[in-house]
Amino acid sequence: MTTKRICLGAAQITAHTLTLVTLLYSAVPVAAAEAEKEKIPWQEGPGTAKLESTAVLKLPAGYKFADGNITRRLLKAWGEPISGEELGLVRPDEGKWSVYFDFSPEGYVKDDDKDKLDADKLLKAIQKGNDRANQQRKKMGYAPLNIVGWEQKPNYDPATHNLEWAIRAESEGRPVLNYNTRLLGRRGVMEVVLVCQPDELSTILPTFKDLLTGFSYVQGENYAEYRPGDKVAKYGLAALVTGGAVAVAAKTGLLASLVLLLKKGWKAIVLGVAALLTAIKKLFSRGSSTTSA
């Protein structure tokens, strides 16, 4: 059964997402999950889930966690490409939604543009990039993805260094809702993608945000622990948003491999620092036959 992520949040131009991760999950891959159920060594809450050596998540009772290796195994079983940057997956015991964690080690992202996040301009940039993507989809025989607008405009919290946004789109009459969260760290960005049914987002969102309060980078990896000489990303908050949107297109399940190309290609366009050809060589992203807009 092929996975289709529709609500999530993930995908991003920086290192993959749904890279990211953004995502078109028409439904959580229940059949595939059930088939794997007896084979998956889930970590049951309560407890502390380790996102490798980068961060930890307090896992409440009623939730289960799969580490990066298991997450990649599941994605492969669902027919989705993997980026190699998946750090884990969390699911509630009750409810058909999931949270994916990917880490993009592209360096310290400066938030100098936090007061310049023009939602209208960002949306236009996203739509422009999506128009290019639709041209490629058409050539490959895939249905177009149409971006409707913001479900939630980009919002950055300078105290927690968390960036959130959500884009609503549609494809062949199907609603596509991409909910993205980026947690800035010293050496990169944790890309968090919420995967759920679009009509369930308002109900799930408070629970999702409460779950993220248990997230923390390990000592030495926090955003505030940046030191001169550390690697600095070549883009800011705005590029995280525009890149994440392309991931949405990628994770619509309409194009798996193309998403990988477009996400990297879009990044090159937004940043203006690399040729598309070079970007293609470095394809890395959690493209998927499902996920965000």
The domain ranges of the chain are 4-281
Average pLDDT of span 151-174: 93
Which of the four pLDDT bands, split at 50, 70 and 90, describes residue 243?
confident
3-class DSSP string for the chain:
CCCEECCCCCCECCCEEEEECCCCEEECCHHHHHHHHHHCCCEECCEEEEECCCEEEEECCCEEEEEHHHHHHHHHHCCCCCCCCEEEEEEECCCCCEEEEEEECCCECCCCCCCCCCHHHHHHHHHHHHHHHHHHHHHCCCCCCEEEEEEEEEEEECCCCEEEEEEEEEECCEEEEEEEEEEEECCCEEEEEEECCHHHHHHHHHHHHHHHCCEEECCCCEHHHCCCCCCECCCCHHHHHHHHHHHHHHCCCCCCHHHHHHHHHHHHHHHCCCCHHHHHHCCCCCCCCCCCC
pLDDT score at 285: 34
Cβ-proximal residues to 121 (8 Å cutoff; 6+ apart), any chain: none
pLDDT in tens, 22-43: 333 333 444 444 445 547 899 9
- pTM to 2 decimal places: 0.73
Q: How high does pLDDT run on average in the chain? A: 75
Average pLDDT of span 232-249: 76
Average pLDDT of span 184-206: 93
CATH superfamily of 4-281: Mog1/PsbP, alpha/beta/alpha sandwich (3.40.1000.10)
pLDDT score at 83: 84
Question: Would you say residue 13 has pLDDT above 50?
Answer: no
Question: Would you say residue 117 has pLDDT above 60?
Answer: yes
pLDDT score at 159: 94
Average pLDDT of span 138-151: 88
pLDDT score at 262: 35
Which of 97, 242, 248 has its CA nearest to residue 168? Answer: 248
Which of 271, 125, 128, 263 has its CA nearest to residue 191? Answer: 263
Average pLDDT of span 135-151: 88
pLDDT score at 181: 96
pLDDT score at 196: 86
Which of the four pLDDT bands, split at 50, 70 and 90, describes residue 91?
very high
- Least-confidence region, from 94-108, 192-206, 271-285: 271-285
pLDDT score at 123: 94
pLDDT score at 147: 92
Identify which has the larger pLDDT, 149 or 7: 149
Q: What percentage of the chain has pLDDT greater than the value 70?
A: 70
Average pLDDT of span 225-237: 96
pLDDT score at 52: 96
Q: How many angstroms separate the first and last alpha carbons of the chain? A: 21
Average pLDDT of span 219-244: 93
Whose tokens are 């596509």? That residue is 176
pLDDT score at 269: 28
Pairing of strands 174-184, 4-5: unpaired
Question: Would you say residue 275 has pLDDT above 60?
Answer: no
Token output for 48: 């502390």
Token output for 245: 């949107």
Question: Would you say residue 184 has pLDDT above 50?
Answer: yes
Token output for 290: 């499902």
